[in-house]
Amino acid sequence: MQDKVKEIYQEVEAYNLETPEQVEKFRVAYVGRKGVIADLFDQLKNAAPEERRALGAELNALKNFAQSRLATVQQHLENARTNGQSAPPADLTLPVVPNQLGTIHPLTLVRARIVQIFERIGFNVSEGPEIEDDWHNFSALNFPENHPAREMQDTFFVERNPDVALRTHTSSVQVRLMETQKPPIRSIMPGRVYRNEAISARANCTFHQVEGLFVDENVSFADLKQTLYHFTREMFGKQTRIRFRPSYFPFTEPSAEMDISCGLHEPGVCQLCGGAKNICKGTGWVEIGGSGMVDPNVLENCGIDSQKYTGFAFGMGIERITMLRYQIKDLRLFTENDVRFLRQFTGLG
Ligand code: DAH
């Protein structure tokens, strides 16, 4: 009987267990209740009493071996089956769930358009820091110390240090450019600016400007006018009217403010603020920025020879331009992030 046990042990060990059918045959033949191993257990009672104990132990070992082989192979087969079918079959008839697409913010759209217009006529794009020192935001731009012109721009100072402030305009970037580059300089500088102002439909404490600077030999006021005229026609259409009003800025001489007709093509007819007239104040014109010839003092402050070079500069409000372009009546909409407003710009740009 001992030989028989050995023989079965070898059979169990060598049994080819690859297909589910083979596994089932193996189970019936060896592990099942009517299998050979169960038979041998039955025959145990016929064995000589002194051999029974040792034989019983051998038989138990054989039984455990056969059972564990079976269990291992069954587990493998089960894994292979579920791996192959882990995902339920796709239902190709299900309706498509549309992706929720975001939209580009209108100010971003307009900024991109401004950049595109100026790049085509040879301007590059520059940026500067939003936290500025007094020199770049004021002094280099010809704002005398303690001069009331500084009060025109209600400044947010950082940590009570009068030398560190949130920039009140992008003109500070002009200074940084002229300090580090040699003419010819032809650049626009879009960016966020900050002013301590009461929030209304027309004003916010943070908004965006785009600064422009052209410094070279023989740059004239006519160049400034033509450049800005080109810009407004590209931005708002060929019949757009603009007007320049004499003005004052410490860093330009002469200086001019630039208006654009808010009826766009018919001055006097305000399509933007309509009856409320809260944007154009009933005049039909909206100011979009300041401009002028760079003051020789500013050129000299930045190390540029004012005998040799002249330049023009301008600064425009991107919110204003966006309001005119998309007929937006209240600039608080730009910062409220109301998706009903933002969704209207889907697919633009
Ligand atoms: N920095 C001015 C402002 O914030 C705008 C401005 C006026 C910029 C005239 C210029 C300029 O470059 O030449 O109101």
pLDDT per residue as tens digits for the range 104-114: 999 999 999 99
- Do 147 and 17 belong to one domain? no
The residue range of the domain holding 142 is 106-345
DSSP 271: T
28, 51, 213, 284 from 45: Cα distances, Å: 23, 10, 109, 116
Helix (H/G/I), strand (E/B), else coil: 38: helix
- Do 259 and 304 belong to one domain? yes
Contacts of 16 (CB under 8 A, 6+ apart): 22
CB atoms within 10 A of CB 231: 24
- 118 Cα–ligand 1 center, Å: 17
Distance between CA atoms of 321 and 207, rounded to whole angstroms? 12
Q: Is residue 77 part of a domain?
A: yes
- Pocket test of ligand 1: the residue of 314, 319, 320 to mutate, having most ligand atoms within 8 Å of its CB, is 314
- 211 Cα–ligand 1 center, Å: 7
Residue 289 CA, closest ligand 1 atom number: 5
Handedness of CA 303, 254, 111, 231 (dihedral sign): negative
Which residue's CA lies nearest to atom 4 of ligand 1? 169
Residue 292 CA, closest ligand 1 atom number: 13
Q: Residue 100 has what pLDDT?
A: 79
- 142 Cα–ligand 1 center, Å: 12
- Do 140 and 280 belong to one domain? yes
Q: Is residue 55 part of a domain?
A: yes
Q: Residue 222 has what pLDDT?
A: 97
- Do 231 and 192 belong to one domain? yes
Q: Please check whether residue 334 is in contact with residue 107, taking contact to mean a CB–CB distance below 8 angstroms.
A: yes
| Tally: H helices and E strands in the chain | 12, 10
Check which CATH number belongs to the domain holding 219 and give it: 3.30.930.10
Question: For ligand 1, is residue 211 a contact (CB within 6 Å)?
Answer: yes
Q: Which residues pair with 290 in a beta bridge?
A: 257, 315
Distance between CA atoms of 278 and 199, rounded to whole angstroms? 14
Which residue's CA lies nearest to atom 8 of ligand 1? 315
- 180 Cα–ligand 1 center, Å: 20
- Do 339 and 249 belong to one domain? yes
- Do 246 and 330 belong to one domain? yes
Which residue's CA lies nearest to atom 3 of ligand 1? 169
DSSP 284: S
- Do 178 and 40 belong to one domain? no
CA torsion, ordered 223, 181, 183, 215, to nearest 10 deg: 20
Q: Is residue 325 part of a domain?
A: yes
As a whole number of Å, the CA-based R_g of the chain is 42
- 348 Cα–ligand 1 center, Å: 29
Distance between CA atoms of 322 and 158, rounded to whole angstroms? 30
Positions of the chain with pLDDT lower than 50, given as ranges:
none
- Do 76 and 131 belong to one domain? no
pTM for the model stands at: 0.71
Distance between CA atoms of 204 and 190, rounded to whole angstroms? 17
Predicted confidence (pLDDT) per residue in 7-53, tens digit:
999 999 898 888 889 999 999 999 989 998 998 888 888 888 888 88
Question: For ligand 1, is residue 249 a contact (CB within 6 Å)?
Answer: yes
Tokens found for residue 64: 């455990």
- 293 Cα–ligand 1 center, Å: 11
Q: Residue 317 has what pLDDT?
A: 94
Q: 210: closest CA among 298, 124, 149?
A: 124
- 170 Cα–ligand 1 center, Å: 8
Q: Is residue 93 part of a domain?
A: no
Q: Which residues pair with 32 in a beta bridge?
A: none
Question: For ligand 1, is residue 134 a contact (CB within 6 Å)?
Answer: no
Distance between CA atoms of 131 and 101, rounded to whole angstroms? 34
Q: Residue 321 has what pLDDT?
A: 92
- Do 117 and 75 belong to one domain? no
Residue 312 CA, closest ligand 1 atom number: 13
- Do 313 and 278 belong to one domain? yes
- Do 73 and 113 belong to one domain? no
Residue 252 CA, closest ligand 1 atom number: 13
- 165 Cα–ligand 1 center, Å: 17
The tally of domains found in the chain comes to 2
Q: Is residue 311 part of a domain?
A: yes
Distance between CA atoms of 170 and 182, rounded to whole angstroms? 20
Q: Is residue 89 part of a domain?
A: no
Q: Residue 46 has what pLDDT?
A: 86
Q: Is residue 52 part of a domain?
A: yes
CA angle 103, 108, 111 (to 5 degrees): 150
- Do 75 and 111 belong to one domain? no
Q: Is residue 94 part of a domain?
A: no
